[in-house]
Structure 1
Amino acid sequence: MPRLDVREISPVNRHEKIHEEFEGMDPGETLTIVNDHEPKPLYYEMAAEVPTFDEEAYEVRQDAPDEFVAEFPKSEE
């Protein structure tokens, strides 16, 4: 399962890098993102723009005050 810690990536470049990683995945895989805030804007962006994003299976948890772990699954269709 691909995992990407974006906390070290400049905020202006984060979404581009995430989209690149997601596009490179096989159907049925899940991209795990580690971020310093809850990635709600990214969730809405993916839901609106990426047909292969399985928004129903999306999950997020907060492991620390500055550590949010989000699961972005790619549909098998």
Structure 2
Amino acid sequence: MSTATLAEIDVRSIPPYQRHQQIFAQVDALQVGQSLRIVNDHDPVPLRHQLESRSPGQLQWSYVQAGPQLWRVQISKVQGVADADQGSCCSGGACGG
């Protein structure tokens, strides 16, 4: 699947306490097939874990550049919320709840 990169965010210029909030807002606005690229001075592993827990199965994480001074990561939306729920045993209320 090919994706269109909408923007590149250099998070080094954003105050640390605002970084994830701004990235989450832009990632949440992505449509399937779109991506966002972030630039950072360290490997943003905590961000990856947070995104995976917020949007399981919806995003693809790809290193475009992996250090040692600069990291560029492309975050692509590969499926929507409804698509991700299709594999759930509880979709359609089938969990007996």
What TM-score range do you get, normalising by the shorter chain? 0.7 to 0.9
Aligned to 1:40: 45
Structure 1 letter corresponding to 2:70: E
- The answer for the alignment partner of 1:17 in structure 2 is 22
- Highest Rg: 1 or 2? 2
Alignment of 1:63-74 (within 5 A): 65-74=68-77
TM-score with structure 1 length normalisation? Answer: 0.82
- Structure 1 residues without counterparts, runs of 5 or longer: none
Identity %: 28
Q: CA RMSD in A?
A: 1.7
Q: Equivalent of 1:58, from 57, 61, 67?
A: 61
- 2:84 maps to none
For these two proteins, the number of residue pairs brought into alignment is: 74
Superposed displacement of residue 8, structure 1 = 0.3
* TM-score, length-scaled by structure 2: 0.67
- The gaps in structure 2 that reach 5 residues or longer are 81-97
